[in-house]
Amino acid sequence: MDITDEGLVLTDRLPVSVQVLDTLPEKYELAVADQENESFLKTSLVWQEPVDLDDLDQVGQELRRQDLKISLLLEMMSELLAQNNTIPKPRKLKLSTKGLAFGSGTVELNAGQQVSVMIYIVPSFPKALKLYGEIHKSEDGKVTMVAFEGVSQNVKDALDKLIFRHHRREVAMVRRL
């Protein structure tokens, strides 16, 4: 069973950490984490939204210049925050709205364990999605999968948009090359 077989899938190297839990958080705590994830995903989607300069009038161009200045300040702040936060090393992963698959690596994770997962999905911003789920192992035992729990449809939709944009950027880069 591969939990990333259906729908859009992001395949990349991203910082991710997994922490084993005794039990999953209560429904209220899952809902709070879900709201934080939704807010972060919506903000990151707006932040990464390209603006077509050809369609802008003079006022629009001035707003775009201001937007670029704010983006530069946010990137500088992100670099400072990243220096003070311990961000895990990137690892190859597959991410979908249903779950996460990654190489087992050095940490021993067993099927059935409850975990929290921190995924730094926007490289220029040192804030992570915090998701919860249950460990599944592949048949060969080399790939660990986490089936997410307590993820709302709003978060799934925003995650799908982010994954689609990532895929669209990859296609555009391949075409340029």
Torsion angle defined by CA atoms of residues 22, 24, 26 and 27, in that order, rounded to the nearest 10 degrees: -170
Binned at pLDDT 50, 70 and 90, residue 3 comes out as low
Assigned token pair, 24? 């999953």
CATH number of the domain enclosing 172: 2.40.10.220
DSSP class of residue 112 equals: T
Binned at pLDDT 50, 70 and 90, residue 1 comes out as very low
The total domain count for the chain is: 1
Would residue 36 count as lying in a domain? yes
Would residue 81 count as lying in a domain? no
Name the residue range of residue 45's domain.
Answer: 10-49+87-176
Tens digit of each residue's pLDDT (9 = 90 or more) over 126-172: 788 999 999 987 666 677 888 999 899 999 999 999 888 888 887 87
